[in-house]
Structure 1
Amino acid sequence: MNLYTSFVSTLLFPLHERLKRHDTVALRRLMEEAQWWPADRLVAFQLRRLRDLLRDAAANVPYYHDLFAQLGFDPASIQSTADLQRLPLLTKTIIRANTNALRHAHAQGMTRFNTGGSSGEPLVFFIGKKRISHDVAAKWRATRWWDVDVGDPEIVVWGSPIELSKQDHLKHWRDKLLRTQLLPAFEMSEPKLDQFIATIRSVKPRMLFGYPSALTHIAMHAQKRGVLMSDLGIKVAFVTSELLYDEQRATISQVFGCRVANGYGGRDAGFIAHECPAGGMHLTADDIVVEIVNGAGQVQPPGVAGEIVVTHLSTNEFPFIRYRTGDIGVLGTTPCNCGRGLPLLEDIQGRSTDFVIAADGTVMHGLSLIYILRDLAGVKSFKVIQESRALTRVLLVTDDNFASGALDQIVSEFKQRLGPDVAVVVDRVDNIPAEKSGKFRYVISHA
């Protein structure tokens, strides 16, 4: 760690967090200790915090006060985190219908957030300083796993309106002092990509952070331009917010000459898991209880895929208790070689809308269609939209190497997977815009 990074991480950033009335520094230190605890101590810590959250919700959050009374549920009676199964799942629909009733009676200074989700229907919720402090501390801990720290030069490729709308004069200078620079992921035109490459070469960041699709796009453009990017001293590329595909990891790593660290979470569910240098996707178990449930809402054992359900233990002001994320994953069955006691999320298979359904009802991961398209000569980018079980649309951006006969090949191979009577429409377009958030999704199913 150089002198300036040490100054930022030990003095400037802690001062910044204190002025915002965040407990980030103390929490990060506790988390760095807790990551090495044995499983039984971590489970006991989780349970104690869970009881505190449920007691507080029963006393001060109208929605949970009424719900617990209807169920005859006493937070003091829980003996393990498995007792959460006595409570119903929290859905986005429930939150939309009970937004005010989910607010803590004594909460102050909460920040309003909203996320559009895959359907575009906004989810409005609130986050308090406690939750923000815990999420920042968890992210900071995971950052330090990779021998980088707050204050090391960083390039952030992001598209969230929340970050992009806050680029005022004060934040400009804060980012300069913290040595982080934001590149907007909304527009990926060739002139913009040229600027991005020039900026990255000029900054020589120690770390990159962004959507895997955006970093891959920049990397591929650098390859196309013949610009070397592996000589900059980049230590790690942190990716999040989208499913990370193996070929994206390989491209980012090769072009930028660095390791790729996957992260998983969201503004609603919190900082759920992060990859360590040994390759384990560690759950933030000192802050979050994760369950895997099947379609009937029944909890599944480790090794079995299902929907990821989260209880964030620091969401007192606006509790997320048994919150359905809509993501599909698998809990790990063995510990990580790094020695950390934090349990593992063995597999993240994407959102439920990243899966497609064949005409006969068979559920398949979107990769089954992606593999057909990604290796075709002349295909620059694509997007698959399953409008219904009877109709799938493919958006395709191609160059001169694309053979006309490939269109028939796409239709034929899609029908082999989805069903012979399924209509497959291929639209060749000039470009495929990202989502409003700046993310890019290769497969969207409305079926």
Structure 2
Amino acid sequence: MEDLLKKAEALFMQGNLYEAEECFKSALETDPNNSEILNDLGVVYFKKGDLKKAEYYFSMALKKNHLNLDALQNLADLYETTGENFKSITYLQKILGITGDETKLLNRLAALFKQTGYESRAIKTLKESLRVDVNQDEVKKLIHDLEQKSHRTGCHTQEKALNILFVQESPCIRNYKMARALSAKGHKVSLAYTKFRLSQMYKGLSDDVYHECIQLQSHRQLWDISKNYDIVHCHNEPDVLTVAALACDAPVVHDTHDLISLRANGDRNLVYFEGIANRGASGRVYSTPYQMEEARKLYGVSGPSLVLYNYASEYDLPTRILPKLSANDGRVHIVYEGGIGGNAHRNFIELFVQLAKKGIYIHIYPTFYDPKLARLFSEFPEIHYNKPASPGQIIEIMTQFDFGIIPFDLTKGNKRFLDSTIANKLFEYLAAGLAVIASPLKSYTDYFRENPVGITFCDTQDIIRNIPKLKEISENTDFSKQIFVYEREVEKLEAFYEEVISKKIVRPKFQRAGHSLDGNPLPLPAHISDDVITKAIKDDTTKESYNDSYLFIKTDNKLNQYNYEQYFRAVSQDLDLDDLVIRNTPYRPLLDLTKTQWLSTEELKAIQNGFLRMLVMEAYEKVPYYRKTMDAAGIDPEKVYTIEDLKDLPILNKEIIHSHYKEMQHVEIEKLEKYFTATGGSTGAALKYFVPPEVYYYGFGCRNRGFSWAGFSEDKDRIAYLAGGSLGVTDKVIIEKNKIKIPATGITNRSVMSKYYEALETFSPEYMRAYPSALFEFCKFLREEGKRLHIRAAITTGETLFEYQRSFIEETLECEIFNEYGAYDGGAGAFECEKHIGLHLQMERGIMELLDDDGMPAKPGKSGRIVVTDLHNYIFPFIRYDVGDVATASSGKCTCGRGLENVKRIEGRASDYIILKDGTRVSGESVIHLFNRLLQSNQIDIRQYQVHQKVDQAIEIKVIPGAGYSSTHRDRIYNVFIHHLGRLPVKVVEVDKILPAPSGKMRFVYSDIKNSKIDSAETNQP
């Protein structure tokens, strides 16, 4: 047969197509399952112009071998020739799924996307090509041209680009997809949220899809900003946010993702708010026709309405189609993505277990990873419980499976509610080219009747029986025609917005006391008096009940119809209350830090200056040390208006405080309410001092506000501490309510870390707060042991966070890091917000100066020592106090919208520098970079290191050797440091362990040489 094939190939090359055809046919009779011969015969017919036969033989070749790249390529060419570009795209995607990224294939695929009108897919594919080979100038130009064209041709159904505000507690996938589609048309879509941003909710998604992200702190803030938008689009749940938005100055659209009152079996309060939202909105959007029908039945809804399914996003469609797993093992592979457990109707764990027992492979991609479910499913080799995948990955991942499943537990869920829904996953399964099997709900039954892409099932046996039918659907369906994306449907939404805006339906603010939001008289419950109502309204400005006022926008379960209406009406009338002050103390007001963060920088500086003036006056009058010091410096406290007016006041440090301890105290300290506290003192003698209650309020208030930027609430969320004494962690694992404290001191011991991991897995924290070095070591342990820990965010504090630590920790834990800095004694604090552009100073708490070696403000991008003034400690004042740390000044503002100033980076302790012979200081980060280069290039194998400069300037480098460590590695370390540190003597020492400081903090680089301008005192955290 080999000779026959050679003859056939020779005839083909000579152009003797008919003779070549006969030879290939003869060979095929000998070996009818030979994929290569089938493909060759298809090539002959393709060359002859008989495209039907060519298509048949290419397809047969693939049936015999689904990895036949030639057959895939030939089918792609054939369909491009016939103008069936979607089919051509499918086969090019399958080739990419097998071969990986190839620029030629990616560029060809992008060209086809462009021809079929999928320009955003074309741009995405070209960018992937550019990542493979950056030296493609034509590709760069094409991307630029496509992006420019997209910008020019957007909004063709509108006279102008719209300014749209999306409002939701936390943005969901529907919100994200809709925003992306509208943005692609040139509209500006901003997000107002109350709990979490998009990037905190979903792995791999960026907040950049929104023009701006605004965290709402009150209804009034929502009303104030609404005047900047053409339309306010509220996504439920909760419906109460739409009700609040009805008083906005722009038309309001209510988007019903779910009729949650049906899900909750007609809960009275949910029905109440759902009814107001549906009736009162200027327009309504529903996710299925059945939702719209139900809303009309329940609430008599009329006016502009639109049905917009939970379509896929064009941006998330796959670039490649992966080979089917079933083609290799002959088994059936079903995929499920979404929530599992939790809500009653999603409790279908037993169904998956039963399918696994029948030999069906189940691949689960949950919305949130649950370690308990992971342990349960690990008992069944057929069930693969994966980490959540990002929307940009999930559809491509799912192409390798056979079918998608949409199950519901109809014995526990409300069927009327479920009948009205169609999940995001339906359209994502279809975009992955999968037939779908779903629970027998009206919405899915009707959809499959009109679009034969799936079937419904009742039980496990039903699924097993219907597998042949599902395979038939898969083979006979052109799934390229079943891809529905928001980008192709967004014109309907644009037209709907235009209709709503043109009608100019804007509800007025509610002003008549004693009337409900629907305008009907509201009888007062007998047990509630006018005095109680008045107090409840005014309590909005008291410390004790301020958090309760959040209930109205955070939708706590305490919310009910009556108290909501009273609150809403009172606030909407703009009562004459000071928005910023929670309550006053004898010395200064307590500010509402959740509101002041949104003031401008100039307004915040004005607040600082007011507090500073009060502090300086009190210090001069009542604290002997400051009267003496100010008089000596020629400072008149009456003329101090800003921190610049104190530039002649000597810098305070730890030694001065110890020397003038009694003089530093308020003369009436014995009569004043106070607390005794102290710094950690791990690098020197502990500093003991006193603080008034206001210091605790601002310290913990600023800290909790910083935590909220990471999405963490100390009252509601579980958190793990991996630290030492500065964060109140002892030498034992302790669990306190929703908090677990784990000592950082044992973090290098493998058996200890195993116990820590078990404790963490059992406790299942949602957040971590840790020293960077301890968390880094713990993440190394997780990687080496193949373990995982799922948390929403990590908050690092107490040490310098280096970039290599950040990237390693974020990759390991699959979450964002929010860095925190605090010097509790000096009133300094700084936190990263969601933008991660430096750290925001806690300006209401204190003033932070960055001073260079000449005592002048450090220039942008330059480092300076941190000098702070605690604006609220008037009984033991810290005015211009050098905390012994160094930071880099910022060169610009953060884009988050907060007025709080920021610093670019916290460099660490002033003692974390190596001093060269000429007096030049080399930062600890630069020294660490030297080690990282050696480690990343695999030139050395060590587990840990520490660089210590002694008083005589000699450098001692301690290393814990790895398995592959040798004397060659020691020489490499020695040579690198000799080269970079000039003539300093260097010694490399191998050790078994490197101990952290007593506080648990690890010092990678430190020097015993004291800079006369910088004190090396340890600082503490609130």
Asked if the contact 2:828–2:848 (Cα under 8 Å) also holds between the matched residues in 1, the reply is no
RMSD (Å), alpha carbons: 2.5
The 3 A distance-change label for structure 1 pair 344 and 211 is: same
* SS of equivalent residue, structure 2 residue 745: coil
Task: Give the Cα–Cα distance (whole angstroms) in 2 for the partners of residues 186 and 417 of structure 1.
Answer: 32
Aligned residue-pair number: 419
Amino acid across the alignment from 2:720: I
The 3 A distance-change label for structure 1 pair 87 and 361 is: closer
Give the match for residue 51 of structure 1.
Answer: 613
Task: Give the Cα–Cα distance (whole angstroms) in 2 for the partners of residues 443 and 242 of structure 1.
Answer: 12
Q: Given the two structures, how large is their TM-score scaled by the length of structure 1?
A: 0.87
The 3 A distance-change label for structure 1 pair 9 and 49 is: closer
Alignment of 1:384-423 (within 5 A): 384-388=947-951, 390-420=953-983, 422-423=984-985
Task: Give the Cα–Cα distance (whole angstroms) in 2 for the partners of residues 303 and 419 of structure 1.
Answer: 26
Shift of 1:60: 1.5
Give the match for residue 797 of structure 2.
Answer: 240
1:197 equivalent to 2:760? Answer no
Asked if the contact 1:99–1:124 (Cα under 8 Å) also holds between the matched residues in 2, the reply is no
Amino acid across the alignment from 1:423: P
Task: Give the Cα–Cα distance (whole angstroms) in 2 for the partners of residues 342 and 65 of structure 1.
Answer: 31
Shift of 1:162: 7.2
Give the match for residue 180 of structure 1.
Answer: 739
Give the match for residue 381 of structure 1.
Answer: 944
Shift of 1:306: 1.2
Runs of 5+ in structure 2 lacking a partner? Answer: 1-194, 197-544, 549-580, 584-588, 1010-1022
* SS of equivalent residue, structure 1 residue 132: helix
Task: Give the Cα–Cα distance (whole angstroms) in 2 for the partners of residues 303 and 320 of structure 1.
Answer: 27
Give the match for residue 20 of structure 1.
Answer: none
Alignment of 1:236-385 (within 5 A): 236-280=793-837, 281-374=839-932, 375=935, 376-385=939-948
Task: Give the Cα–Cα distance (whole angstroms) in 2 for the partners of residues 123 and 110 of structure 1.
Answer: 14
1:233-288 CA-to-partner distances (Å, cap 9, x unmatched) read x1110001101011111121122221100011123223421000111310111221
1:290-333 CA-to-partner distances (Å, cap 9, x unmatched) read 11112232333444321111111011121110011221112323
Shift of 1:25: 7.8
Shift of 1:146: 2.0
| Greater C-alpha radius of gyration | 2
Task: Give the Cα–Cα distance (whole angstroms) in 2 for the partners of residues 28 and 51 of structure 1.
Answer: 16
Asked if the contact 1:358–1:389 (Cα under 8 Å) also holds between the matched residues in 2, the reply is no
Amino acid across the alignment from 1:186: T
Give the match for residue 679 of structure 2.
Answer: 114
Task: Give the Cα–Cα distance (whole angstroms) in 1 for the partners of residues 906 and 727 of structure 2.
Answer: 25
Shift of 1:211: 0.3
Task: Give the Cα–Cα distance (whole angstroms) in 1 for the partners of residues 547 and 783 of structure 2.
Answer: 38
**Identity of counterpart residues, as a percentage?**
28
327-336 or 68-77, larger mean C-alpha shift: 68-77
* SS of equivalent residue, structure 1 residue 314: coil
Alignment of 1:133-152 (within 5 A): 133-151=697-715, 152=717
Task: Give the Cα–Cα distance (whole angstroms) in 2 for the partners of residues 105 and 357 of structure 1.
Answer: 42
The 3 A distance-change label for structure 1 pair 162 and 237 is: closer
Task: Identify the structure with the greater strand proportion.
Answer: 1
Task: Give the Cα–Cα distance (whole angstroms) in 2 for the partners of residues 180 and 305 of structure 1.
Answer: 36
Asked if the contact 1:114–1:123 (Cα under 8 Å) also holds between the matched residues in 2, the reply is yes
* SS of equivalent residue, structure 1 residue 115: coil
133-142 or 261-270, larger mean C-alpha shift: 261-270
Asked if the contact 1:57–1:316 (Cα under 8 Å) also holds between the matched residues in 2, the reply is yes
The 3 A distance-change label for structure 1 pair 9 and 429 is: farther
* SS of equivalent residue, structure 2 residue 760: helix
Amino acid across the alignment from 2:807: A
Give the match for residue 784 of structure 2.
Answer: 224
Task: Give the Cα–Cα distance (whole angstroms) in 1 for the partners of residues 620 and 953 of structure 2.
Answer: 47
237-246 or 368-377, larger mean C-alpha shift: 368-377
Q: Given the two structures, how large is their TM-score scaled by the length of structure 2?
A: 0.39
The 3 A distance-change label for structure 1 pair 61 and 240 is: same
Task: Give the Cα–Cα distance (whole angstroms) in 1 for the partners of residues 682 and 825 of structure 2.
Answer: 11
Shift of 1:43: 1.3
Task: Identify the structure with the greater helix proportion.
Answer: 2
Task: Give the Cα–Cα distance (whole angstroms) in 2 for the partners of residues 369 and 302 of structure 1.
Answer: 23
Shift of 1:9: 11
Task: Give the Cα–Cα distance (whole angstroms) in 1 for the partners of residues 828 and 852 of structure 2.
Answer: 22
Task: Give the Cα–Cα distance (whole angstroms) in 2 for the partners of residues 72 and 360 of structure 1.
Answer: 37
Asked if the contact 1:395–1:428 (Cα under 8 Å) also holds between the matched residues in 2, the reply is yes
Shift of 1:390: 4.1
Give the match for residue 767 of structure 2.
Answer: 207
Greater relative contact order structure (CA < 8 Å, 6+ sep):
1
* SS of equivalent residue, structure 1 residue 430: coil
Task: Give the Cα–Cα distance (whole angstroms) in 1 for the partners of residues 679 and 601 of structure 2.
Answer: 35
The 3 A distance-change label for structure 1 pair 302 and 53 is: farther
Asked if the contact 1:96–1:124 (Cα under 8 Å) also holds between the matched residues in 2, the reply is no
Shift of 1:200: 1.7
Task: Give the Cα–Cα distance (whole angstroms) in 2 for the partners of residues 150 and 366 of structure 1.
Answer: 33
1:39 to 586, 601, 606: 601
Give the match for residue 647 of structure 2.
Answer: 85
Asked if the contact 2:680–2:725 (Cα under 8 Å) also holds between the matched residues in 1, the reply is no
Asked if the contact 1:9–1:150 (Cα under 8 Å) also holds between the matched residues in 2, the reply is no
Task: Give the Cα–Cα distance (whole angstroms) in 1 for the partners of residues 630 and 876 of structure 2.
Answer: 16
Amino acid across the alignment from 1:438: G
Shift of 1:81: 2.5
The 3 A distance-change label for structure 1 pair 438 and 330 is: same
Shift of 1:51: 0.3
Shift of 1:367: 3.0
1:102-124 CA-to-partner distances (Å, cap 9, x unmatched) read 12223333213133253x33333
Shift of 1:35: 0.8
Task: Give the Cα–Cα distance (whole angstroms) in 2 for the partners of residues 361 and 59 of structure 1.
Answer: 42
Task: Give the Cα–Cα distance (whole angstroms) in 2 for the partners of residues 145 and 164 of structure 1.
Answer: 23
* SS of equivalent residue, structure 2 residue 906: strand
1:154 to 691, 702, 719: 719
1:386-440 CA-to-partner distances (Å, cap 9, x unmatched) read 11454110111012211321111111111112224x3211111111000011100
124-133 or 219-228, larger mean C-alpha shift: 124-133
1:47-98 CA-to-partner distances (Å, cap 9, x unmatched) read 1000011111112212112222333422221232211213111111101111
The 3 A distance-change label for structure 1 pair 369 and 389 is: farther
Task: Give the Cα–Cα distance (whole angstroms) in 1 for the partners of residues 628 and 731 of structure 2.
Answer: 38
